[in-house]
Structure 1
Amino acid sequence: MAVDLSAFPRVPLGHWPTPIDDCPRLSAALGGPRVLVKRDDVGGIGAGGNKLRKLEFLLGAALADGADTVVTFGAVQSNHGRQTAAACARLGLRCELVLTRSVPRAGEAYERSGNIALDRLYGATVHLCADDADTAETYRRVIDTAATDGRTVATFPVGGSSPLGVLGYVAATVELFAQLDSLGLEVHRLVVPVGSAGTAAGVALAVDLLGRNVIVDGGCVSHTAEESLADIRRLAAASAELMGRPAPALDRLRTTDRAVGPGYGIPTDQVWDALRLFARTEAITLDPVYTGKAAAAFIDQVRAGEITAAETVVFLHTGGLPGLFAYAPELADRLNSRG
């Protein structure tokens, strides 16, 4: 079934299509499936990443509505915040980032480097909040100030994960299958990180709309498998409604929370091992918050025999490299201790 998104305003932010890397050394190290990596970490402004796909539609609608200011939310080291700041810089929009200290980390690296340094480099106004109540009060002040100044505000949710934002990964998945078809490749499984669930919802919805017999494996990074599954289903259904389509069955969708660990933004030994494996076999850099956890879950599934050697798997690399530097002290310790 064809997927037509031309009715939705869209601004170009990424370098599409992003490449697909065949990863024979990683596949051999796993002793299991053939692994391909869809490189959404390398496509576009602001150091790339998956949120650019969503922002093309979110900002398209915001500009159509006359917005001159964008407000969005996230943790201190939000990839979405960094990519929103970059996109706003490109488009000449004011960007207000309301960031919450929701991850139990501190120190110079986490507070001042990585994504938050780039937020400021791209010209965003950064509001650091202690908790949810502080975040709500800060948002109210930002909106009130904008109204006093006569500015028109567009507000985006955490991760850009709205029904409109989901369309970014509907488009990305259509792009992916066009590439695979042109290469004559049949894949059995798509592995995708699941945080705010918009990326996974777009992938799962597109698989359903295209009628592809492919498993979508969501590697949870913050919530339980059940919560993530519900979030994906809710967003995919709302996005389908936006497109004038019925709610998708999503009967090939799976989620696993085996690599979440203590919580969002807290990497485990399993996650650091996944970063090391991807880096030393394919020179692919994962991040310890999203792709590292999805990769750790994927590796565990392979080693448990849940993903077989006969399968071809696409791992969707959603970016996040700048965030790795926020974890520089821990990364250095891991490298020094384990070689």
Structure 2
Amino acid sequence: MTVCSMASDSALPADYHPPRLKLAQLPTPLQFLPRLSEKLGGPRIWVKRDDLTGSVLSGNKLRKLEFTLAQAQQEGCDTVITCGGLQSNHCRATALLCAQLGLTCHLLLRGDPTGEADGNYLLDKLAGATINTYVAKDYQGAISDLLRQWQQHYQDLGRKAFIIPTGASDGIGVWGYFEACRELQQDFAAANITPQHIICATGSGGTQAGLTAGAQAFNLNAQVWGVNVCDDAAWFMNKVQADLQDWQQRYQLQFDVANQSINVIDGYVGPGYALATAEIYQCIAELASQEGIVLDPVYTGKAFYAMLQEHQQGRFGSDGDIVFVHTGGVFGLFPQRQHFAFLDN
């Protein structure tokens, strides 16, 4: 586990309202997990159910896209270009929202689509998105150029395309989970709790960046922890800080990026992005059977397992309340169904 912690006393714009569309089903519930909490015998575990921001339009991406797509419309764009893995939750949400808003969606996906379309990739196709796929070696170092090339392509056709980065994680997307903290403030008051820790999966940094700024703005008095599901702690500390800096500069906010506490729990990536170990699949199955909550093996499964392991090691203390932000991802389960064969035994 790697932590970058710095004092924070900057004023934040709790009453600033950037352009926003109402796309998600909000507020989402804050759910207590009684059986798991009793089993752990330590802090009470709560889950912010952002897997319930919609049906097929589910997960944390919707909160960010409310602001990102509002900006695209404000700029007069008729096309949205974004990118991610073949089973990207963000790309699926973007494709479906573009269909809802009457925008053309173009997805640049990393991976080789072999066999039948499944999971998020199937939903991308159902949403009518234009899709280009690239093998990892061609995608990794060239995605920025590819996005710009396709944007130019649409410009040459007399159209205007808006680029959304991976996960909608940039200065615009920060607003999604900044505003989610306004909701968490109300949740905590209604439940009469004062959690010391808020934990989320972090895969592109935007959710963690928004939570970090919002926790301060709304005086949640809780430490935000991101569990990286790819790369390493140093990469995410830099990425979260970069997103916050983009946010501050883009909107000219009174916000001291250098004095933020950015905390990353490292060591749970496993074999790599979207690759999980047997312990993760077991954790997913146990939580579903104990509490009726379904995690995914790419993001939330790894982060929830990390939370349980760190709790056992004393990371979060022996009492109080912990809030886990469920960022969705259920459709990522289905392409990995073979890893749940143990359920048939």
If the length of structure 1 is used for normalisation, what is the TM-score? 0.91
Partner of 1:14: 24
Partner of 1:50: 60
Partner of 1:325: 334
Partner of 1:147: 155
Partner of 1:163: 171
Partner of 2:37: 27
Relative to structure 1, the CA distance from residue 246 to residue 115 in structure 2 (aligned partners, 3 Å threshold; closer, same or farther) is same
Quick one: distance in 2 between partners of 1:144 and 1:232? 29
Quick one: distance in 1 between partners of 2:207 and 2:290? 26
Q: Does the residue aligned with 2:172 lie in a helix, a strand or coil? A: helix
Q: Does the residue aligned with 1:313 lie in a helix, a strand or coil? A: strand
Partner of 1:3: 14
Q: Does the residue aligned with 1:112 lie in a helix, a strand or coil? A: coil
Question: In the alignment, residue 15 of structure 2 is paired with which amino acid?
Answer: D
Q: Does the residue aligned with 1:163 lie in a helix, a strand or coil? A: coil
Please say if residues 39 and 316 of structure 1, whose CA atoms lie closer than 8 Å, have aligned partners that are also in contact. Answer: yes
- CA-CA distance at 1:159 after TM superposition: 0.5
The correspondence for 1:191, drawn from 181, 185, 199, is 199
Question: In the alignment, residue 315 of structure 1 is paired with which amino acid?
Answer: F
Question: In the alignment, residue 256 of structure 1 is paired with which amino acid?
Answer: I
- Output the aligned Cα RMSD: 1.9
Question: In the alignment, residue 224 of structure 1 is paired with which amino acid?
Answer: D
- CA-CA distance at 1:325 after TM superposition: 0.6
Quick one: distance in 2 between partners of 1:144 and 1:237? 27
Please say if residues 120 and 331 of structure 2, whose CA atoms lie closer than 8 Å, have aligned partners that are also in contact. Answer: yes
Aligned pairs for 1:97-112 within 5 A:
97-101=107-111, 108=115, 112=117
Please say if residues 223 and 257 of structure 1, whose CA atoms lie closer than 8 Å, have aligned partners that are also in contact. Answer: no
Aligned pairs for 1:287-326 within 5 A:
287-326=296-335
Q: Any unmatched runs of 5+ in structure 2?
A: 1-11
Q: Does the residue aligned with 2:56 lie in a helix, a strand or coil? A: coil
Partner of 2:287: 278
Please say if residues 189 and 311 of structure 1, whose CA atoms lie closer than 8 Å, have aligned partners that are also in contact. Answer: no
- CA-CA distance at 1:144 after TM superposition: 3.8
Quick one: distance in 1 between partners of 2:278 and 2:84? 25
- CA-CA distance at 1:2 after TM superposition: 6.2
Please say if residues 192 and 219 of structure 1, whose CA atoms lie closer than 8 Å, have aligned partners that are also in contact. Answer: yes
Quick one: distance in 2 between partners of 1:141 and 1:210? 41
Quick one: distance in 1 between partners of 2:260 and 2:286? 31
Relative to structure 1, the CA distance from residue 40 to residue 195 in structure 2 (aligned partners, 3 Å threshold; closer, same or farther) is same
Partner of 1:216: 224
Partner of 2:3: none
Please say if residues 59 and 327 of structure 2, whose CA atoms lie closer than 8 Å, have aligned partners that are also in contact. Answer: yes
Partner of 1:238: 246
Partner of 1:61: 71
Partner of 2:126: 121
- CA-CA distance at 1:263 after TM superposition: 1.2
Partner of 2:264: 255
Please say if residues 151 and 162 of structure 2, whose CA atoms lie closer than 8 Å, have aligned partners that are also in contact. Answer: no
Q: Does the residue aligned with 2:297 lie in a helix, a strand or coil? A: coil
- CA-CA distance at 1:46 after TM superposition: 3.1
Please say if residues 51 and 59 of structure 2, whose CA atoms lie closer than 8 Å, have aligned partners that are also in contact. Answer: yes
Q: Does the residue aligned with 1:164 lie in a helix, a strand or coil? A: coil
Quick one: distance in 2 between partners of 1:237 and 1:209? 16
- CA-CA distance at 1:268 after TM superposition: 1.1
Q: Does the residue aligned with 1:3 lie in a helix, a strand or coil? A: coil
Q: Any unmatched runs of 5+ in structure 1?
A: none
Q: Does the residue aligned with 2:308 lie in a helix, a strand or coil? A: helix
- Does the alignment pair 1:201 with 2:206? no
More moved, 58-67 vs 144-153: 144-153
Residues 126-177 of structure 1 show CA distances to partners (whole Å, capped at 9, x for unaligned) of 1111135356475455334312321110000000001111111100111111
Please say if residues 99 and 129 of structure 1, whose CA atoms lie closer than 8 Å, have aligned partners that are also in contact. Answer: yes
Relative to structure 1, the CA distance from residue 177 to residue 124 in structure 2 (aligned partners, 3 Å threshold; closer, same or farther) is same
- Number of equivalenced pairs: 329
Q: Does the residue aligned with 1:41 lie in a helix, a strand or coil? A: helix
Q: Does the residue aligned with 1:52 lie in a helix, a strand or coil? A: helix
- Does the alignment pair 1:173 with 2:173? no
